[in-house]
Structures are given as C-alpha cells and as structure tokens.
Amino acid sequence: MTMKAADQITIDPAYDAVAPDDFPSMMEVDRYGQRSTAFDKIISATHDHFWDPLDPKYIDFSEPWDLDNEMLIPEDMNIELRTAVSDKLDEKQKIYLVNESVRWTMSSILHGEQGALNLSASLCHIMKDPGAQEYAANQTREEARHVTGFSRYIQARWGKPAPCGTVLEELLVELVGTPVVWKKLVGMQMVLEGLAMGTFAAFYQKTHDPLLRRLMQLVMTDEAFHHKFGKIWADRTVPNLPPEERDMIEDWALEVFMRLMTNSSGPEQKKHMYEKVGLDWRWVQGALIEAMTDKKMRSEMRSSTSIFRTLIKTLLKAGIITERTAPKYAAYVDIQELYAEGDRMVGDAIAEEGIKYLKEINGAGGDGGIFALGGSSAAE
C-alpha cells in the first residue's frame, strides 16, 4: 500500500507516519533513538488507573437489576419521552423504551470501543515515533478492557448487544482503515472520545444502576487520557498549520460530529424498539422534530450538562472550531459561554476521583505479584 505524502499533515515529528505495511521503516537504526518525550507522562500514569473488568474487586457484574420494572436512567434523560411519544405509552412501555434505549446506547459505545481498540492498534503500525507507539499500545490495551467491560454489562442486563447502526459502522470502518494519522486522531481521539467523555459523565451522574455508574467511572479514568492524547496532538499541530490544512481538519471534525449526531438521533435505526410499544418510527421522527422546535427543549439541550460540551470545548480551544463552523455547533452548546470557560472538563473530576480510588486498590495487596501465588490461583 502506498500513501501520498500530501495526505499526512506532520508538523511535529512525534506524529511522523509510514504506510501500514511498511515495517522495514520501523527498523531504521536511527529511529529507535528518536523518541519524543511528549507522551512520557501519560504513558507512566497508566498503572495508576489500572483496573480489571473480570475482577470483582474493581467491578461486580453479578449485581442484579429488575429491567421490567425499574428504569436504568431517569425518564427525563430519554429524549423520546420528552416528546409526544410520552402520551402514547403506559408505565410499563415507558420502562421498556427507556431501558431498551440504554441498551442501544451501550451497544453503540461497545462498537465504538471496538473501533477505538482497532484504531489504536493501527496507530502502532503507522506512527514512527517510539513514544507515540508506546502510548498507542497502552491505549489499545485499555480499549480492550473497555470492550470486555461493556460486553459484560450488556450481557448482565440484556444478554446480547444491539447491532451497530449503519451510520456508526461506516464511520468506524473509515477511521480504522484510513492510513492518515490526523484523520484518525481528530475523528477518534478528539471527536469520538470527547463525545464519549460527555456521555459517560452524564450516565455517571444520573444513572440509577450502581453497576453502570461504577463502569462509567472506571472507563473514564482511562478515557480522560485518550482525549488528552488528541489534545496534545492538536496543541502541537493546529497553530502551525497553513490555512488550507487547518480548514481540512476543521471540516473533518464537523463531518465526524454530524455523522455521530445522525447515528444517535436517527429513529429509523431504532424502529424495532418503537414497534414493540406500538409506534411507527416515522411518527416518532415527527414527534422528535416537533419537539426540537420547542424553545425550552432546545435551551435544555444547550445546558451546562450537555453531553456535547467536552467535545465542542476541546475543539474550540484547539482552534478546530472557528467562525467557519461555529454556527453548526451552536445548536448543541452555548459557544460564547464555552469560550470564556477554563480548560477543565466535567469528566476530569470524575476521572480523578476514580484514579484516587484505583490507586488505593492497586497499592494494596503487595503480595509480590502473580508469580508469588500458588500455581492454581495464578491461573484462576
């Protein structure tokens, strides 16, 4: 596979890349000594936030939930029930719709985690810098435990995930497959991870299910670093770009964002769920569109708890949203307010608290490690 050099935007040598099948370049003897220090801190922090989804010391997936009678999240967190859909359903149907929507969201996240795993692994094949590779390898391992964590949660609550929506699937296939580093980093680390941080924070703050809350916190202790990796790239790259290349990045970020919006709000993809409660997806779509013209609903969506805040703020502060595209994002957040805010994100505090808790668990024990255990327990 050959790659046009023009596709890559390499301002900082830490993001120098080769084609995915160009392993010989990795063995250039001078390359080994050319390691950027940009990622050292986030690499050495990895053990602080270690957790194991299969160890009940960190999270216990046997905690039960009465799916037929208890909503996993508050009713008002479900967008459909804030429209005329609500008047058509009885209590049981509402519980079904809320919980099945959570299943849809968790399944989308699971497929996104799988995309993040494969994407980080692909970064190891194309990024030349040994430090950038080590970071990407660590992220790959963390995404792998997220895949396990979300699989386990979905299994515990519903048995099986919902299939990936076509819009999300196409986007993930494109992000994993492209050999272009900036497309990967902007699409995954900045837009998708940013949206994930906002979504996880909202679920962490609002879910009624203690197991889901725990999962959100553990995943966030890792994701905060992934989003940071995207920010390090942007800080080192965007201010030094010629205008045409900067515009390309801005347009790509908007495209990925809009495609994600289509995925999460496209009622056709959830038609199976609506049919179960006697609703046609086209009617639901009409109800959603009507509600969006409602001023109160719009202003609530733009509130300080908006799941889009983290992502849009990161793009804004990184110079990836300018007046060219700001109006497109303005439907989701108050841009002026964001611009005036500090760099702190809503998810940072949750991640920090989680890391503190993990340090306590990880610091305890001190049994000399796995090889100090008896043969049978080491294999358990």
Interface with Fe ion (CB under 5 A): 113, 116, 143, 146, 223, 226
Residue whose token pair is 């197991």? 211
Q: Which is nearer to Fe ion, 143 or 209 (CB)?
A: 143
Least distance CB 120 / Fe ion (angstroms): 8
Least distance CB 113 / Fe ion (angstroms): 5
Least distance CB 83 / Fe ion (angstroms): 31
Distance of CA 228 to the CA centre of its chain: 12
Rounded to 5 degrees, what are φ and ψ at 68?
Answer: -80, -20
DSSP labels for 100-116?
HHHHHHHHHHHHHHHHH
Q: Which is nearer to Fe ion, 198 or 267 (CB)?
A: 198
Per DSSP, 246 falls in state: H
Distances (CA, A) of 75 to 31, 95, 207, 304: 55, 8, 10, 19
- 74: tokens are 């508050």
* Nearest Cα residue to 132 out of 48, 43, 68, 204: 43
Q: Give the number of C-alpha atoms closer than 13 A to the C-alpha of residue 4, restricted to the C-beta side.
A: 2
Residue 17: strand pairing partners: 127
Per DSSP, 80 falls in state: G
- 186: tokens are 């902007």
Least distance CB 143 / Fe ion (angstroms): 5
Q: Which is nearer to Fe ion, 113 or 129 (CB)?
A: 113
SS3 of residue 17 by DSSP: strand
Least distance CB 375 / Fe ion (angstroms): 34
Least distance CB 368 / Fe ion (angstroms): 31
Q: Which is nearer to Fe ion, 98 or 186 (CB)?
A: 186
Least distance CB 282 / Fe ion (angstroms): 34
Q: Which is nearer to Fe ion, 83 or 221 (CB)?
A: 221
The answer to whether the beta carbons of residues 315 and 190 sit under 8 Å apart is yes
Q: Which is nearer to Fe ion, 61 or 283 (CB)?
A: 61
Least distance CB 137 / Fe ion (angstroms): 13
Contacts 24+ apart (CB under 8 A), 207-213: 207/72, 207/73, 208/70, 208/71, 208/72, 208/73, 208/74, 209/65, 209/72, 210/63, 211/59, 211/60, 211/61, 211/63, 211/65, 211/153, 211/156, 212/72, 212/102, 212/153
